[in-house]
Amino acid sequence: MEGPAKYPNRAPIASYGNGGFRFADMSHQGSLLLLPSGIYAWAQEEFATLTVENFQQVFAEAAQIEFLLLGCGSQLEVPDNTIRKAFDDHDTGLEFMSTGAAVRTFNVLLDEKRAVAAALLAVDNP
């Protein structure tokens, strides 16, 4: 676990940039995990150092998640095969895109009541 929920519910992201996010009339500096159980601080700061271990909290809730949107930062990156295989092993889809695209997609899918989760790397400039 990354720690206690910053917000113990699901909520759309109101804005992002300057190294953080705004949601539910709150702000957070740093990266976020948006899971069925709530919104959590995510200690991950950069795409290049992502490992399967960074997604353990996601896998713990995998039964409630159809797929995870991975916001890779300011541009699209492709996670390595070990990360993609771990998602396959947990029967959870993985879609990767820039953080901005992931925020927009998450908000739409959340509004549609889809079983979506997100792991969003903070960016300085949207």
Q: Tell me the pLDDT tens digit for each residue of 78-118.
A: 999 999 999 999 999 999 999 999 999 999 999 999 999 99
Q: What percent of the chain has a predicted confidence (pLDDT) above 90?
A: 91
pLDDT-derived band of residue 2, with 50, 70 and 90 as boundaries?
low
Does residue 126 lie in a domain region?
Answer: no
Does residue 6 lie in a domain region?
Answer: no
Residue 1 scores a pLDDT above 50: no
Question: Domain tally for the chain?
Answer: 1
Does residue 3 lie in a domain region?
Answer: no
Does residue 87 lie in a domain region?
Answer: yes
CATH number at residue 34: 3.40.1230.10
Does residue 77 lie in a domain region?
Answer: yes
For the whole model, what pTM was predicted?
0.94
Residue 103: which of 90, 88, 85, 121 has the closest Cα? 121
For residue 107, what are the domain limits?
A: 13-120
Residue 28 scores a pLDDT above 90: yes
Does residue 1 lie in a domain region?
Answer: no
3-state helix, strand, coil in the chain (%, to 5): 30, 30, 40
Does residue 91 lie in a domain region?
Answer: yes
* 125's tokens: 């400039």
* 88's tokens: 């396959």
